[in-house]
Structure 1
């Protein structure tokens, strides 16, 4: 398999409305294309997407049981009953608890709240908490961001005589709790138009419904910024109602009346700045979340419901301190986990990383699992061992459903739960190794090699000249970016790197410029400083980026925010040595020398862009073999395949040399035919012309009743001649190299290949590449003049005794066969052109 660093997937939607959308909003076709890529495909949909308004929120009473819940809460307010909000310890749970508490207090409700301790109680409603609330005089419980699976606990509430209303957004099981009301857009009997609300979004819908019923205004400036924080932090889709809540909430965040939010902005240095999804996800959210991880989630609620500026600032400082402590613990666990991976060679082959250690903080291992999962692009399960028990957090890649995987080895767990991308578990320590083996057996069964490679989705291919300030401003209309509405990404191909340097603390970031068709633009790659070791000035690369502006010293310039860099031809260069070794091997084989004209019909395709035609064909056809003979063509094809994304490449097998693995469609990159069994294929495509016409006719005659497509044209003969001239050594080159070997004082010596090539160029004016050099070594070996061995990049030469008689190098079989191919190119061209003319009645010309 060809190992790509990442796959690139270009969106491929129906763009028939692109001009209509572009015209309706006076935007470029580039921005219109991005909108269509986001599923916004009509003018009306674009209008609703761009012109966000709270008025476009759905009627909250469309949610099942909302009417029952509102009636009961209003009745409790009127009777001054004690209401308890039961939340969760993450940001979604804390913000859900906060907004409902603030709102109910504002309308005169007697309200308290309860959030379970992450370490001692765990997630969700529990019976001890119910007892506590009952003992405190609670008369009604309203859950937020939890409760949908609390079947037994709700039954316990009913037995204790306290009514409970469930508000949640998590997926429902077959059985629902027998609560007074269950408000969840994901109920199976729900017709609610938007299913992807966060827990805080569902809590806001309850507030919206109560306000509608009582005909009072919602304190938007105080509540909506908190809704935005909780929604972003819970990493839900920023589409539909979530887009409205987040965009409107972020717009209000600096004008918020919430003292706690103001304190957080001040402590984090974000005061008076334009707050983005990134600020919430990486600065504000982690500080609120740290309370539930290392301390008490109540600190987060206290901050966001605080009425004193001094106390709010004190609480914000405390959360900032806890967050720094969390970061230190996280870095220590990460360092230890990386050390475990480094010291156990099994991890390199295993597709799921199961890492366990004593004294790890259970509240932090989920974050570390995410970082390891992202770095290695493998599912990761970190287990914190306490005595004979382990508590684990799992994070996964998009191609592996971790919940399904854990379900299939559930016999190892005391309990587990989660969803496709994240899960939690508890396990006895003596079962950890067996679990590690079991989950990896499942992964081996389910995951192909391509599933272990990340994929970037790209909106369009852009030239640097296409990027201007207007497009940058237009793209801002699509904010806020996030899940479901990712940041627009573009790719520029085959651009030149200039002015490269690492910047920032310890060279963490990468700054450079790119040149494309005379146009130059500045680039910044945050957290890409490590790429310095792989690139150099003048490299041709493909870059994935978001166009942006940089303001420095009151000067505004376009700057590309680089998301990734792919070295042009890096992947295809990896196959070069294999290709030429295969060439040499086949030249040594005894070959058929007779030509017989094919009897079957051949389809000749005259196309302007062979690669585009080939990829389109492979998208729409199965059981096809593609034969590519020339390495230069093979490189071009391989460089384009990774733009088709992971799923397309999972259907393709790329074979070089003695490999021949068959998938839905199969590529064979081979300069000379090895005699493979091709009968299993329905269609054969010759992408280019063979080096030897005997190969072509030998293949064709075995393909009776098969569809045979020829994509090659006259230019291929010239390309083959160029490749052969670069690969086959001239007699003078053979003599010079053997002569330099003889000048060595030792019979056995090692060659530094780069220095040796420079020596040949400087002293003998000959240019030798690695492939030609290996061919020369093979010819000298077959002439009984040397023996050689290649160990990684080191070449070891052993001189054999010099023969008494002259050796006819030209008669050495492998060299003779190579020269025959070279001399035969002109005659072969005539053969094919004449054949096509003679056989045109039996060909289908398209």
Structure 2
């Protein structure tokens, strides 16, 4: 609903030409890299050539030494190890990775996953007591636990050593655990402040292996190859929407090698039901694989996703994949209904554009889709958004932000109204008592107003360069793949193309919301696809002159490869 302002990334004169010569890349690739702040040197070289050998020492993460020592001792002494994670993709991939790694080291490891609808996010005392009753001596968390103060206290009472690994923002009080591992804690030497939870888990595995190797553990058994779990790290990292720069880029790039083709039976089956064909990209993991894995935790419980990831036989994996695909279809239907209701509520109440922070509640929305709805509302209205649904005597929900606002900091201004909260700068979860809703709605709006400026409420679309359509040929566009993997922090390049003439328009699919538009400029033609084209783009009609903001890639269909644009924004030529 908010009209976007196009902003061309500025570069110093001669910067891209210098990059092109130094790196031996095309002018188009060099222009994109220069627009994103790269200059000739080691950083640019490492970006183009991500290597596992460049990864930093895992012991640089605060708390890692203590965690690795305790887990290694449990492996050697045969203590009962349990893994506890979140129910999303990041959590479930962490669960599969740590359980399989510990088993490969000779340990007996069990896994406990919470249900979103019954337990919610984080390690609760009830779950800790359940694991202790089942014999747990060491519990390792992943993607959660940094605020599990009460559960840590209960663990000490029960004689259970709790090893917390997490990547979320720590609270004022840390849990009193055997070890607390988090790159966001002060005093560390790890250069990546924002890995996914599964990235922290993979580093824990590396550190534990190092301790066990030093103690001679692998003199009597094969040493696990940590590269075997990078397929899980890749999908968990992409799905958790952490920046794909630095360490995260290296891990995802290496993990994509295990996706082409997928080697793990569960992931191969999931790619099959999603009708994906190699080469798979980070975009495929984010838009096709991740949602299907997430559907289990959103609609029922995450165990189905874990069963798929750990399936050993292809027929078993295919059955799990079909279950997840069906759950994903249910999720899509629930999301569409809740989104339509939430948008109608915002417009009916007159909250946009007057409010700077939106708090929307619905009595019958499925709790598993509130985060998705919050994302879509925040994107549509360009406002930090909280979406809440009833749970027990109170309300529970998810929040999503816009650039410029750290969500957790804004929620801290409302902490006296909240039962609990936590998350990142861009996404958070929260709970509050039902009678606190009116006050929270006002307080959240006030918190947003204190932190944003009016210009922050106008969405900005960054363009990497302005080009002519003729600048985009098969060779130069194909070379853009060197900038993969694309995602948060390294988006697919977007170019400004002005003065294009629309030659034809046709619908894609049966809904009428997707369009295929053939455009022409100076005798060069290309097809541009507009997914979910808004009604405001009705000017995309034959004969019209338009300006497009679009990404470019090579598209193969029926054996023929051609340039295809994906429209990010459109406006009449001006």
TM-score, with structure 2 as normaliser: 0.91
The alignment of Structure 1 onto Structure 2 pairs a total of residues equal to 566
1:83 corresponds in structure 2 to: 81
After superposition, the Cα gap between the structure-2 partners of 1:180 and 1:406, relative to the gap in structure 1 and judged at 3 Å, is closer
What is the CA–CA distance in structure 2 between the aligned matches of 1:431 and 1:43, rounded to whole Å? 54
Distance of 1:15 and 1:236 partners within structure 2: 31
Partner of 2:245: 239
Q: Is the CA contact (8 Å cut-off) linking 2:261 and 2:278 kept in structure 1?
A: no
Q: Aligned residue for 2:201?
A: 203
Q: How many angstroms does 1:328 deviate by?
A: 1.7
* Residues 511-520 or 139-148, more deviating: 511-520
Mapping 1:98-497, distance limit 5 Å: 98-213=96-211, 214=213, 217-219=223-225, 222-270=228-276, 272-347=277-352, 349-385=354-390, 389-444=394-449, 446-497=451-502
Given the alignment of the two structures, is residue 511 of structure 1 paired with residue 516 of structure 2, yes or no? yes
CA contact (8 A) 1:92 1:200 kept: yes
Instruction: Tell me the CA shift for residue 156 of structure 1.
Output: 2.4
| Residues 105 and 223 in structure 2, CA contact (< 8 A), matched pair in contact too | no
CA distance in 1, matches of 2:365, 2:237: 29
1:58: Cα distance to partner? 1.6
**CA distance change for structure 1 residues 534 and 380 in 2, over 3 Å: closer, same or farther?**
farther
Q: 8 Å contact 1:54–1:244 — kept in the other structure?
A: yes
The 2-side partners of 1:73 and 1:4 are apart by 51
CA distance in 2, matches of 1:303, 1:176: 34
Aligned to 1:45: 43
Q: Cα 1:224–1:402, aligned 2, differ >3 Å: closer, same or farther?
A: closer
Q: 1:288 to 1:7 in 2, by over 3 A?
A: same
Equivalent positions of 1:415-814 (< 5 A) are 415-444=420-449, 446-528=451-533, 530-569=535-574
Change (3 A) 1:351 1:195: closer
Alpha-carbon spacing, 1:98–1:553, altered in 2? closer, same or farther (3 Å): closer
SS in 1 for 2:258: helix
Q: Is the 8 A contact 1:65 1:181 kept in 2?
A: yes
CA contact (8 A) 1:221 1:256 kept: no
Q: Deviations over 1:277-303 (max 9, x none)?
A: 222112111121121122121222222
Residue 354 of structure 1 and its aligned partner are, at CA, apart by 2.4
Q: Does the 8 A contact of 1:358 with 1:386 survive in 2?
A: no
1:68 aligns with 2:89: no
Q: Is the 8 A contact 1:91 1:288 kept in 2?
A: yes
Conserved 8 A contact 2:80-2:109: yes
Distance verdict in 2 for CA 1:388–1:468, change over 3 Å: same
Q: Secondary structure at the match of 1:134?
A: helix
CA deviations on 1:743-795 (whole Å, 9 max, x unpaired) are xxxxxxxxxxxxxxxxxxxxxxxxxxxxxxxxxxxxxxxxxxxxxxxxxxxxx
Cα offsets for 1:165-209 (capped at 9, x unmatched):
221112233543332222222221111122221110111112222
Match of 1:734 in 2: none
Q: What secondary structure sits across from 2:144 in the alignment?
A: coil
Preserved contact between residue 403 and residue 419 of structure 1 (Cα < 8 Å): yes
Partners of 1:387 and 1:83 lie apart in 2 by 32
Kept in 2, the 8 Å contact 1:545–1:560? The answer is yes
Distance 1:180 1:441, change over 3 A: closer
| 348 and 173 in structure 1: CA distance in 2 versus 1, 3 angstrom threshold | closer
- Please tell me whether the aligned partners of residues 20 and 43 of structure 1 are also in contact (alpha carbons under 8 angstroms): no
CA distance in 1, matches of 2:288, 2:255: 16
- In structure 2, the CA distance between the partners of 1:143 and 1:388, relative to structure 1 (3 Å rule), is closer
Three-state SS of the structure 2 residue aligned to 1:176 is: coil
Q: Please state how far the C-alpha of 1:561 moved relative to its aligned partner.
A: 2.4
**1:172–1:188: 8 Å Cα contact kept in structure 2?**
no
Whether the aligned pair in 2 keeps the contact of 1:413 and 1:427 (CA below 8 Å) is yes
Distance 1:81 1:467, change over 3 A: same
Q: Distance in 1 between matches of 2:341 and 2:67?
A: 49
Contact 1:509 1:529 in 2 (8 A): no
Deviation at 1:66, TM superposition (A): 2.8
Contact 1:415-1:425 within 8 A present in 2 as well: yes
1: distance between equivalents of 2:416 and 2:247? 40
Change (3 A) 1:133 1:442: closer
RMSD (CA atoms): 2.5
Structure 1 residues 488-541: Cα deviation after superposition (integer angstroms, max 9, x where no partner): 111122333322333332222222233333433332223226455233333332
| 1:201/1:227 contact within 8 Å kept | yes
- Secondary structure at 1:506 match in 2: coil
Rounded Cα–Cα distance in structure 2 between residues aligned with 1:169 and 1:4 = 32
- The 3 A distance-change label for structure 1 pair 236 and 493 is same
Change in 2 beyond 3 A, CA 1:558/1:282: closer
**8 A contact 2:9–2:36 mirrored in 1:** no
Gaps of 5+ in 1: 570-846
CA 1:122–1:247 in 2, change beyond 3 Å: closer, same or farther? same
CA contact (8 A) 1:402 1:421 kept: yes
* Contact 2:261–2:279 (CA under 8 A) maintained in structure 1: no
CA drift of 1:441 comes to 4.4
Return the offset for 1:75.
2.2
- Structure 1 residues 484 and 113, CA, compared in 2 at 3 Å: closer, same or farther? same
Q: Which of structures 1 and 2 has the larger relative contact order (alpha carbons within 8 angstroms, sep 6+)?
A: 2
How many Å separate the matches in 1 of 2:417 and 2:76?
Answer: 51
| CA shift in 2, pair 1:108/1:386, >3 Å | closer
CA distance in 2, matches of 1:299, 1:4: 39
CA contact (8 A) 1:96 1:203 kept: yes
SS in structure 2 at match of 1:76: helix
Contact 1:250–1:276 (8 Å) recurs in 2: yes
Cα distance in structure 1, aligned partners of 2:45 and 2:543: 44
Q: Deviations over 1:425-456 (max 9, x none)?
A: 33333443343344334545554443222111
**Contact 1:185 1:195 survives alignment (8 Å):** yes
In the TM superposition, residue 487 of structure 1 has moved relative to its aligned partner by 0.8
Question: Is the CA contact 1:222–1:257 (under 8 Å) kept in the aligned structure 2?
Answer: no
C-alpha distance 162-229 of structure 1, shift in aligned 2 (>3 A): same
